[in-house]
Structure 1
């Protein structure tokens, strides 16, 4: 008679083997994995940047119904679309379908029509995208080495920019076009105030407003991004008494270019020697009109502020000598020398390069979504993609001993686009995936910008545009001029 009881009951699977799974269990397992569908290449590379349980615990991460386009899938598809600006929704849908074709356990495949994807993307929760952006930002700022700080302090740089978007009725209501453009001939323009980390280039946050609104009017929406001990770096547009006084009361110092309305005179105040002096700025008697600070906030500001004024002569061979005037609340002349302050303000230009990476390299200067809600999501997805690339650059510079500011952002993005398809092959092979990541970081470390000290880069285009007419009337009323190649406007 055959023995039914195992002599080693604790190890039956080792001696007797495993039972072959049924077809029903395989199908159920495939459907369960299908519900958590995500683009394999991006999730294999950038997925480890998120907390382990992020996509199951993030706000609105649970789908309301069983669908191919779950919030997690939509996030990776949207991120893939942002990293490839020339790709339309049709290409993203085709990518998802091409991946599902290779998965025989999946019960159905999406249509190549883009309607379902666009509707699902519109339903993607804004808090979910904000949580993803916050997770990447926290990861990037937490991994910055302390050696990259300025005098042991974190510097955050502030500046404004603008971006255009499709000419739709809802976009025009939220962000109207400039009045100099005729109706039907312009595009909505949104003003954006951005805050970046100077050492890592991390996109910390932003605020959106109408094009006609001053950048300082958006300050209250980003003021929470600065914490005690930080240093705020900005241009003359932010050299306002209220801003400097508020931040000083919070333990945040400022380094700003002196506003043109302030007198450039070192004779006022107490001289500190070496083209610098210490002045006392008094609180204005009346709160200015259209002030971003309400009456309660204005009353809470101190009555007096100590400001250090520094005159920095700039001398370059072959150029006329000119001076830059800096106003700062770093009043300790011994702890923060003139050369250190001047070098820090010189690095303020880095935010212009950050905006160039975002608007020119990542093509965010012209947004593509047609509603204000989707515009906000599109900007947040650009922030996610930008910070993810900055995180890869940070890992590459740290691992290979490179200077962080010299690693090319565009070169890193080009390398990522070429190497990304290989990540899906190693998604289930941790060792090979780690080896692939090391090779990717090594390749990113090799794309270094050369030293270009004093290089002049005018904002001008060398290639001439086409000889097309400008649309100066609504499209239905516009009449094209024949032989326009030879047409010249009358003087």
Structure 2
């Protein structure tokens, strides 16, 4: 059973409360960081405004924390206690929804996106439970979609899933994400139209990949081009492949896995046979034609009584470094990516809720805020888990949301 935030407090000597007391938004995304992003993206306002850029960045993140609240209610929650404490001038009033939308439009997408790219870094320390395999940080890539407001601009930018009478009721924003498996923190993301394929979106995620990672992916993402693109980052990979992927067996290894070739598309059967023969003889096969990988095959009888064979190809070629059994167990961590995305779609957004921004740029801005909000919560939970020796992904995300929402309301996180 997942440990709740409240259950973990006694072992932390007040540490979690200290972090919350700063306001989760200001603690994780401090004013200096916001100023750096504002300067880098050139979004600083040219004259004094009631809603300056740094306030609006925090406001967009707060929209993720209070997804089902109205625009002006989100602002009221952020600034209400500051007003009571005298931090605002007496004549300051909560702006109207129209004024907030205008301020969001002035802000644009880039500052919030830049903040995510700057701040959303991996969270697990080297000793964190469930986050590492043989000194490699376990991460996974996957994609999902979000319904957005049904406006002409959103339809044009993001499209609908399906066509004709089977088209989706709402336009859909497609999101590809890189998650740290041990903490459920999303540390890389790419946004696009639902007409854009998962592999195309995932190709742009490579900039978030570090050489110390072991990146996991499901069979739907495998292609020769994408696998090589990720491998070229220096990270190790463990990707499932489907039965349609041609694999050339080279030799068995001591742990029951085997070395094999995966091929560039378009090679004839004869060319593939010759490449396998070259590899078996220790010859150079040419990186433009094939790649040597290690294949781990296994079944999970208790989850799949039919005995479906799971084949995972990895760039870790030495079985003594990571044995087949350990690699198979690590691959199951790929499901943590789906859990991380599920926390956003269900726990923060709510089932079936729609990103209500009516303009495409504001949809993307809202989505970046919706990614930053759970990152801040996950960072908070990691800070709570580490001193107590907990596995961070066993901490209750929903309990974390409740605590953070209360504290943001009670202790406003922004200053004018």
Partner in structure 2 of residue 483 of structure 1: none
Cα distance change, pair 44–280 in 1 and its aligned pair in 2 (3 A): closer
Equivalenced residue count is: 369
Tell me the SS of whatever aligns to 1:72.
helix
Q: Which runs of 5+ in 1 are unaligned?
A: 1-40, 287-299, 428-491
Q: Distance in 2 between matches of 1:242 and 1:384?
A: 30
Deviation of 1:192 after TM superposition, in Å, equals 1.7
Q: Distance in 2 between matches of 1:335 and 1:424?
A: 49
Q: Is the 8 A contact 1:45 1:423 kept in 2?
A: no
Deviation of 1:242 after TM superposition, in Å, equals 2.0
Q: Is the 8 A contact 1:136 1:387 kept in 2?
A: no
Tell me the SS of whatever aligns to 1:53.
helix
Q: Distance in 1 between matches of 2:162 and 2:31?
A: 49
Matched, 1:66 2:30: no
Matched, 1:145 2:145: no
Partner in structure 2 of residue 315 of structure 1: 301
Q: Is the 8 A contact 2:24 2:377 kept in 1?
A: no
Aligned counterparts, 1:25-44, within 5 A: 44=23
Q: Distance in 1 between matches of 2:31 and 2:163?
A: 51
Partner in structure 2 of residue 88 of structure 1: 70
Cα distance change, pair 251–94 in 1 and its aligned pair in 2 (3 A): closer
Matched, 1:228 2:211: yes
Partner in structure 1 of residue 230 of structure 2: 247
Q: Distance in 2 between matches of 1:246 and 1:184?
A: 33
Partner in structure 1 of residue 339 of structure 2: 353
Q: Distance in 1 between matches of 2:237 and 2:28?
A: 32
Matched, 1:383 2:371: yes
Deviation of 1:410 after TM superposition, in Å, equals 1.2
Matched, 1:131 2:131: no
Cα distance change, pair 388–278 in 1 and its aligned pair in 2 (3 A): same
Q: Is the 8 A contact 2:81 2:409 kept in 1?
A: no
Q: Who wins on radius of gyration, i.e. which is larger?
A: 1
Give the structure-2-normalised TM-score. Answer: 0.79
Partner in structure 2 of residue 57 of structure 1: 36
Deviation of 1:95 after TM superposition, in Å, equals 4.1
Q: Is the 8 A contact 1:394 1:404 kept in 2?
A: yes
Deviations 1:299-343 (A, max 9, x none): x96333112122112232994444312111211111111111111
Partner in structure 2 of residue 279 of structure 1: 260
Q: Which runs of 5+ in 2 are unaligned?
A: 1-19, 268-285
Deviation of 1:362 after TM superposition, in Å, equals 1.0
Deviation of 1:93 after TM superposition, in Å, equals 4.4
Cα distance change, pair 279–185 in 1 and its aligned pair in 2 (3 A): closer
Correspondent of 2:386 among 386, 398, 405: 398
Partner in structure 2 of residue 443 of structure 1: none
Matched, 1:262 2:214: no
Q: Is the 8 A contact 1:97 1:112 kept in 2?
A: no
Partner in structure 2 of residue 341 of structure 1: 327
Higher RCO, 1 vs 2 (CA within 8 Å, ≥6 residues apart): 2
Cα distance change, pair 132–284 in 1 and its aligned pair in 2 (3 A): closer
Deviation of 1:207 after TM superposition, in Å, equals 1.7
Correspondent of 1:218 among 201, 206, 210: 201
Q: Distance in 2 between matches of 1:111 and 1:249?
A: 50
Tell me the SS of whatever aligns to 1:205.
strand
Correspondent of 1:305 among 261, 276, 291: 291
Deviation of 1:75 after TM superposition, in Å, equals 2.2
Q: Distance in 2 between matches of 1:161 and 1:415?
A: 27
Cα distance change, pair 389–223 in 1 and its aligned pair in 2 (3 A): same
Deviation of 1:77 after TM superposition, in Å, equals 2.5
Matched, 1:164 2:147: yes
Task: Indicate the RMSD between aligned Cα atoms, in angstroms.
Answer: 3.0
Q: Distance in 1 between matches of 2:49 and 2:107?
A: 13
Q: Distance in 1 between matches of 2:303 and 2:287?
A: 45
Tell me the SS of whatever aligns to 2:182.
coil
Q: Distance in 2 between matches of 1:251 and 1:163?
A: 32
Tell me the SS of whatever aligns to 2:120.
helix
Tell me the SS of whatever aligns to 2:92.
coil
